[in-house]
Structures are given as C-alpha cells and as structure tokens.
Chain A
C-alpha cells in the first residue's frame, strides 16, 4: 500500500510540476515581453513566436530521446560488429541476406502482413455489419471488443487451452483437439505443424484485433447517409448487394486506416511468438529474431540492429502514406 501511496504522491507531484512548468514559463514569458506598455505589439509578436515552443518543448524533448535518437543509434549499430565497437560496413546486411533463418522470418512476416490485417478487417467488417442490425448488438460488440484488453502474454495462456496436445490415448484438454476428436479426427500437436502453425498463431492476433476493426468500421457504416441506402432499396437491391456495392465502397477510406493500423502492429508484434513457440517449428518472425540476436547467446548488436533497420524500412511506406493522409486533412 505504501508503494501505491508513494506512486500517487509522485503523480500529484508530477502533475503539479508539469502544470507549474507550463504556467510558470508562460508567466515568465509574459514578464519578459509584457503584452502592454510601449512595445506591446512587438512584444506580443515575440511572445507568440516563442510560446508554441514552450508548449511542444517537453514533448519534443521526450520524442527526441525515446524515439528519434534510437533510430539513428540503431542504424549506426547495424554498421558495426557484435559489440558495437568496430566498423564493419554492410557485412551485417550481406550476412542477413544469406541467413536461412532471416529469410524464413521475412517470409513468415509477409504472411502475417497478408493474413492478420485481412482477417481482422474481414471479421471486423462482418461483425460490424451484423451487430448493427440486431437489438442486442451493443452487447455483442462489447464481447467481441473484449480481447483488446488482454495482454499478449495473457492471451497466450488462454490459447494454450485451445491448442494443447496431450498425445494419443490421453484425454485432450485442448479445445481444438477435443473438437477434432469429437468429429472423428486425429488429434494433432497444432503448434508444431509446419506452415499451419503460423496461421494458428495469427489467429490469436486476429482474435485480439477484430474488436478494434469492428468498432471503427461500425461507426463508419453508420456514417453513410440514409438516402443512398434508401435509394438502393427502392431500386430493389438485395441486402448483400447493398452491403458490397454501396456500403463497402463508401467506407473504403476507413477500411484502409484500419488495415494500416493493424499492419503496423503486426510488424512490431513479437510477444505472441515469443510465448507460444519462440520461433521454433518455422514460426520465426523478424521482431523475435531481432530480439534473439540482440539479447540471446551473448548477443550481437550489429546483426540485431540490422534486422531492426529492416523492420523500419518495411514500415516506411506506411509511414509516408500516413503522413500524406494526415497532411491532406489539414
């Protein structure tokens, strides 16, 4: 309890300090360039050029330290050897291209990038479409949204109960095997089945992300003007036709936003792979491979950083697309 109190104390202190900073710096600025008196006009001008920087200052400072500097540090590290001391040029990158595990991770990552955003968006759209039409839709939405709140590591425990395999002849306690056996099939060790195990891991992330897609797409669907739909109904279009020919094209922009958001998440995700298979049985992905090279078996920062740079490069198109979208809105 004492710890909680001290945390709360720090929160209050921190809030007070932040408020103090913003308020205090404003007061000081107004003292230096008082907005009245003989030079009022010029003073206001000067104060207004400085003030925005007071506002963004702390954020800029934190962003620089926590995100911008590490990006450059990583590029620098990727050109050095395992301890980060000797310059080795691009040899980490040439090693990478020839490394079968890297190629496998890259291939798997591409699969993740194809399947997870598509799956989550598809199910999200489906869920949004059906839950908008029923009286208990809000409850249904809440329940589908729920997995968003669960940590990846918690989700891994949950899904262990789905994919568990007990060997032939023993009662299965994994749900998937129980269903398969119930239908007369053979139990399988799902997470060791090459290729398909990747899909089984992706299912977990789809399960988590569908709620997010659903909520946003549902709002977009509701935003479609009633008149368009009514006109279509009058023309005798079937509900399916209305959905695919009228509604989906209308919310195309939102679908793209959802898609890219999940894509970014997929590139960074490694907790699920780490907790479920740690990349064994050909399930390696780039983020986990990077973690392995950085921190396992003595560590090789050069190679780890090189993989990180590749992840960055993969993200850049999305980054540009995001930035262009954001500036279009302005």
Chain B
C-alpha cells in the first residue's frame, strides 16, 4: 500500500513541478559594449541542455539571491536548462545533512572552503577536471592560491566565484566633512582619529557580531586583519594550519588588539555589551543615523547590500583601506574571502555550469550590479557598476600580500564554531588567553 501510495502522491505532485520562472535577462545580450557577449554566444553555441534541470543550493538570501538569479538567468537562456536556486540561512547544516544522505543539489555554493574540503574528504563532492585547475591557475590573479584553496589531496573540488575584500573601513564622507576628520592613512592615525571622535563627543565604531547561527564571525575578520598587521604573513599561515597554536602569544595579542576597539565602551556604539547582540546587518545603520551613532564600520565589500535603500557607495558612503601600522613595516596586507562552487550531485549540467563560470560574462553581469568582486583577469573592469567597486576590484587584482580568511580555512568545528563562540565570549569580557586556550582545546580534540 505504501509504495503505491508514495508513487501516486509523487505523480500528483509532479504535475505542479514544471512551473519554473523564466527570469528576464538583466542586460539584453549584444547591447552593452562593456560586456563580453562573444563569450556568451560562444558558450550558448557549444552547450545545449534543454530539458535538464540544475539545482543550486547556497547561503545567499534576499538581495544576494536576486543577484545570483540574475546571473543564472543567462545560463538558462544560453543552454535551455531549468535552474533552481535555493538559499538558506542554515546552509552549513543543511548541506551536510543533504550531502550525507545523498540528496544534495547538483551545485552547492560554499561560503567556506573548509566545509567543502570536509565534504570532499568524505567523498561527497565530485572533483573538477585538471583542465579547470589549469584554467584557474592561468586566469585568476594569484591563481595558485585559489587552486590550493579549492583542493584536497591534490584534486580540485571547488571553483571560486565571487570574492570579498575584508580589509575595508566604511564611513560617510559628509559626516567626516562636517566634523573635519580626515581619512587615516596609518593604523596610528586611525587609533588617534577614534580617540578624537570620542573627545568630540561622538562614538567612532559600529561593531555588530550577531548573525543568527553564525554569531561571532565578524570578529574573526577583525582578528585576522589585525594579525596580518602585527605579524608577518608566515605567522598567519602557521596559525591557519595550527603549526602556530591558537594560544600563541602573537595570536592572543591580535585578539587583544581587537579588544581595544570592541571592548571599549566609549569606542563602540551602544557600549561593549551591545557588540555581541547587534546584528551585523543592522550594525552599519548607525553610520546613517542622525546624529550618527558611529563614524566608522569595518566590514567586507559586500556590506553595501545592507545600507539603507538608495545609498550610493562613493557618494553617500565610502570606504578606505583598513590601514597597517607604519612602524611595523609589513606593507599593505589584504584579507579576502570568496564563495566556492562545488559539484555535490554529479550531472552533465553541473559540469556545464562550472564551464559557464569560466566565461567573462558570468562575472560581468554581477559586476555590473553590486557586491561582486572577482580575481578573474579576463573581465572588463569597466563592467563594474561604480568606481568604488572598480577600486576594490583593482585592490584584489593587485594584492601583494593576499591572505584568505583564516576562519574559512580552519577545520569547520574551529573556524565555524569555536572561533566564533570564543570571540563572543571574549567580547563578553572573558580573558583573551583563556579564550584562545579554549579554541586550541577544541582543535586538539578534533579527530
């Protein structure tokens, strides 16, 4: 009875399954010269996937979801495939459940390469061919490191698409003008500026660590950026692989450097107690309040998505590079991250989609909108929607010391667990050394 019942139910449902929404293309093919339409036509000519479906599962919701769907529409138009994107706030849990059970989507969009590697090590991700690895090595700025980041046991499993730049501080130029502040060039200046804002009766920083299940992650970016500015990149690399333990004094120093910003009631809007409970998406709102709740907000390049509607980056808000200490002489290190696409359920369409990501058009469509950077050297930088995005893109392409977000590279239980909660505890008043010891303890207990 049961089997029959299941089958009939499934049949009933499949009647309603074919209602995929064909989205209009954001930029009409062939019209705008900024786009590499040749690459689009060429891809369309060589791929026909009509009748096939491709499911994609990722962490993008809200505005980001609309953006990725605007890119997917080109893949659909070019190949005739039916693409379904689903986003979830609990992506990290869901993908593990699905992959383990064998019901994952064709493509998964990992916000952390660490998670992809975990799944790849369990044999749940289909490796990409060696041609793809060569392609990334050749066409991405700092290509070797992107290949390494996406590989496990010498095989490439993940394709990086959409990068973020972390080392940015956001501010409202008019507020600076009104108060007579200058954009700081060095960390010394930045600290002095913060103190000056306090002396003028304002609050320098908005910091929010809240992020639902992932509460705490914004603090990891702070610590990583500060470590890169306090120590050489080699120390950073050692820390990522745990050759340098988490409770090493050099790491503890970086945590405490974050504390000078976040644990200082005068320096952070709402006081230190509000840091952990404020949602990171709400946090930048303080820049735009009247009177300003804060003047500075350190966050990655994607954050303008969460600025108030109508805010134009470059005019209403702008960014500057999170500066390094002049006296340390460590150059201008750049911290970044990226989302990586992996094939979690093999199908011809999935491979075709990875090929699609190698076309300039797949990058340019999102570049021309917002919140997207790419290390792909083959794109037309003019496609960036704004000058400021182009500036970020150039920072990324020209980085000398580029380091990937450490928390994304550490084992999931550390980088997406103990590190987060540890930072929440630290902001709550716990001792930096104790927090670091705790995190190292979790790392030691991994098997």
Contacts and interface: CB of A to CB of B under 8 A. Distances in A.
Interface of A: 2-3, 6, 9-10, 13-14, 17-18, 21, 58, 61, 81-83, 88, 91, 95, 98-101, 165-168, 170, 188-189, 191-192, 194, 274, 277-281, 291-292, 294-301
Given A17-B1, A297-B118, 16 more contacts: A6-B12, A13-B5, A13-B9, A81-B447, A165-B277, A167-B278, A189-B273, A189-B274, A192-B276, A280-B215, A280-B276, A281-B424, A291-B93, A294-B96, A295-B92, A299-B96
Given A17-B5, A298-B115, A298-B412, A6 B13 contact: yes
Contact of B274 (A13, A167, A274, A292): A167
B28 interface: no
A21 B93 CA distance: 39
B412 A191 contact: no
B179 interface: no
Interface stretch (B64-72, B385-393, B414-422): B414-422
Contacts of B2: 61
Contact of B413 (A2, A17, A168, A300): A300
A82 B447 contact: yes
Contacts of A170: 270, 293
A280 B271 contact: no
Contact of A280 (B93, B269, B415, B424): B424
A100 B118 contact: no
Contacts of A297: 92, 114-115, 118, 411-417
B214 to A, nearest CB: 8
A295 B277 contact: no
A13 B6 CA distance: 11
Contacts of B5: 13-14, 17
10 contacts: A3-B16, A95-B445, A167-B273, A188-B273, A192-B428, A296-B92, A298-B96, A298-B118, A298-B413, A299-B118
A6 B94 CA distance: 28
Given A95-B445, A298-B412, A10 B4 contact: no
Contacts of A83: 122
B309 interface: no
A292 B213 CA distance: 10
A168 B92 contact: no
Nearest to B98: A295
B308 interface: no
B441 interface: yes
A10 B274 CA distance: 51
B14 to A, nearest CB: 10
B110 to A, nearest CB: 11
Contacts of B231: none
B271 A168 contact: yes
B200 to A, nearest CB: 16
Contacts of A13: 5, 8-9
Interface residues of B, number: 50
Interface in B97-143: 97, 100, 114-115, 118-119, 122
Given A13-B8, A297-B411, A189 B1 contact: no
Given A189-B274, A297-B118, A280 B445 contact: no
A103 to B, nearest CB: 12
B93 A100 contact: no
B216 interface: yes
Q: Which 4 A-B pairs have the closest CB atoms?
A: A167-B270, A297-B412, A298-B118, A295-B93
A191 B279 CA distance: 14
A296 B93 contact: yes
B212 interface: yes
Contacts of A101: 442
A130 B9 CA distance: 50
Contacts of B93: 291, 295-296
A82 B122 CA distance: 9
B395 to A, nearest CB: 30
B1 A296 contact: no
A95 B442 CA distance: 11
Contacts of B414: 297
Given A14-B5, A83-B122, A296-B412, A191 B277 contact: yes
A279 to B, nearest CB: 8
A189 B276 CA distance: 9
A292 B417 contact: yes
Interface in B191-218: 212-213, 215-216
Nearest to B430: A194
Contact of A167 (B92, B100, B269): B269
Contacts of B415: 297
Contacts of A2: 15-16
Interface string B1-35: 11011001100110110000000000000000000
A82 B428 CA distance: 32
A17 B3 CA distance: 12
Contact of B100 (A21, A277, A301): A301
A192 B8 contact: no
Nearest to A166: B270
B438 interface: yes
B445 A9 contact: no
Contacts of B417: 292, 296-297
A278 B416 contact: no
B421 A280 contact: yes
Contacts of A14: 5, 9
Contacts of A166: 270, 274
Q: Which of A14, A294, A295 has the most chain B CB atoms closer than 10 A to its own CB? A: A295
Given A3-B16, A297-B413, A165 B274 contact: yes
Contacts of B114: 297-298
A274 B4 CA distance: 38
A167 B267 CA distance: 13
Interface in B397-446: 411-417, 421, 424-425, 428, 438, 441-442, 445
Given A165-B277, A278-B215, A295 B447 contact: no
Among A91, A188, A297, chain B packs the most CB atoms within 10 A around the CB of A297
A263 B278 CA distance: 33
Interface in B251-290: 269-271, 273-274, 276-278
